[in-house]
Chains A and B, each alone.
Chain A
Amino acid sequence: MLMTKEAETILQNYLHAVERKLPLRKRNDIIRELHSTIMDTLEAEFGDEEIHEDQMSSFLREFGSPSKTAAGYHEIRPLIPSALLPLFSLIVTIVGAVLTGIFIVGIIVDAVSGSLTGVSFFLDLTELFTGVTSAFGVIVLVFILLDHTLKPEDIPFSRLDDAENWDPKKLPKAEFQRRPKTAESVISIVFGLVLIIAFNLFAEDMAMQWSSGSTCVYIPALGPGFLALIPLLTFRWSLGILVHAGILLRPAKLLWFRISEVLLSCFDFAIILMMLRSEADSIIRFDLLANTEIGDVVPILRWLYYGILTLILLLSLFEAVKGSWNLLKRSHDLQSFR
Chain B
Amino acid sequence: MQGAGLEISQDSLYPLLRRLEDQGILKSSWKVEGSRPRKYYIMSSEGQKIFKELREDWLRQTLIIKEML
When the two chains form their complex, are residues B15 and A37 in contact, meaning their CB atoms are under 8 A apart? no
Most buried by B among A33, A34, A71: A33
When the two chains form their complex, are residues B11 and A69 in contact, meaning their CB atoms are under 8 A apart? yes
When the two chains form their complex, are residues B18 and A30 in contact, meaning their CB atoms are under 8 A apart? yes
Within 8 A of A (CB), among B1-53: 9-12, 14-15, 18-19, 30, 35-39
Q: How many A-B residue pairs have CB under 8 A?
A: 38
Residue of B nearest to A30 (CB): B18
Which range holds the interface residue count of chain B? 10 to 19
CB distance from B18 to the nearest CB of A (A): 7
Q: How far is the CA of A26 from the CA of B35 in the complex (A)?
A: 24
Instruction: Give the residue of A33, A41, A72 whose beta carbon is less than 8 angstroms from that of B39.
Output: A33
Q: How far is the CA of A337 from the CA of B35 in the complex (A)?
A: 7
Instruction: Give the residue of B10, B19, B30 whose beta carbon is less than 8 angstroms from that of A37.
Output: B10
Instruction: Give the residue of B14, B35, B37 whose beta carbon is less than 8 angstroms from that of A72.
Output: B14
- Residues of B contacting A39 with CB < 8 Å? 36
Query: Does A154 belong to the interface (CB within 8 Å)?
Result: no
When the two chains form their complex, are residues A40 and B38 in contact, meaning their CB atoms are under 8 A apart? yes
Residue of B nearest to A68 (CB): B11
Residue of B nearest to A75 (CB): B19
Query: Does A36 belong to the interface (CB within 8 Å)?
Result: yes
- Residues of B contacting A235 with CB < 8 Å? none
Which range holds the interface residue count of chain A? 20 to 34
When the two chains form their complex, are residues B38 and A36 in contact, meaning their CB atoms are under 8 A apart? yes
Query: Does A64 belong to the interface (CB within 8 Å)?
Result: yes
CB contact under 8 A between A64 and B37, given known A30-B18, A73-B18: no
Residue of A nearest to B9 (CB): A64
When the two chains form their complex, are residues A336 and B36 in contact, meaning their CB atoms are under 8 A apart? yes
Query: Does A63 belong to the interface (CB within 8 Å)?
Result: yes
Within 8 A of B (CB), among A44-74: 63-64, 68-69, 71-73
When the two chains form their complex, are residues B36 and A36 in contact, meaning their CB atoms are under 8 A apart? yes
Residue of B nearest to A1 (CB): B35
When the two chains form their complex, are residues B37 and A73 in contact, meaning their CB atoms are under 8 A apart? no
When the two chains form their complex, are residues A72 and B36 in contact, meaning their CB atoms are under 8 A apart? no
Q: How far is the CA of A33 from the CA of B38 in the complex (A)?
A: 7
CB distance from A75 to the nearest CB of B (A): 7
- Residues of A contacting B18 with CB < 8 Å? 26, 30, 73
Residue of A nearest to B39 (CB): A33
CB distance from B6 to the nearest CB of A (A): 18
A64-B11, A68-B11, A72-B11 given; 16 more Cβ-contact pairs under 8 Å:
A33-B14, A36-B37, A36-B38, A36-B39, A37-B10, A37-B14, A63-B10, A64-B9, A71-B11, A72-B14, A72-B15, A73-B18, A336-B36, A337-B36, A338-B35, A338-B36
* 7 pairs, CB–CB < 8 Å, chain A vs chain B: A1-B35, A37-B14, A64-B11, A72-B11, A72-B14, A73-B18, A336-B37
Residues of A within 8 A of B (CB): 1, 26, 30, 32-34, 36-37, 39-41, 63-64, 68-69, 71-73, 75, 336-338
